[in-house]
Amino acid sequence: MDTARSTAVASHLGWLRCSYSGAEGGDCVEVAADAGTVRIRDSTSATGPAVRVSREAWAGFVGKA
């Protein structure tokens, strides 16, 4: 796992917001996948840091492995 700044490199990704967000939508995470990794970021800080993990690690995290 490493962290990566959400720069123009990641701006082309289609970010998806978690469906388990509260009614106010304040505490949300977003994920986006590219060819080899999944990136996770705080939706309230879209230009802030993002965590980048392998697809295998993400699958394990969400219980799909």
pTM over 0.75: no
User: Looking at per-residue confidence, does 21 or 56 come out higher?
Assistant: 56
Domain ranges of the chain: 2-61
pLDDT of 53 > 90? The answer is yes
pLDDT of 9 > 60? The answer is no
pLDDT of 6 > 70? The answer is no
Q: What is the 3-state secondary structure (H, E, C) of 1-52?
A: CEEEECCHHHHCCCCEECCCCCCCCCCCEEEEECCCEEEEEECCCCCCEEEE
pLDDT of 57 > 90? The answer is yes
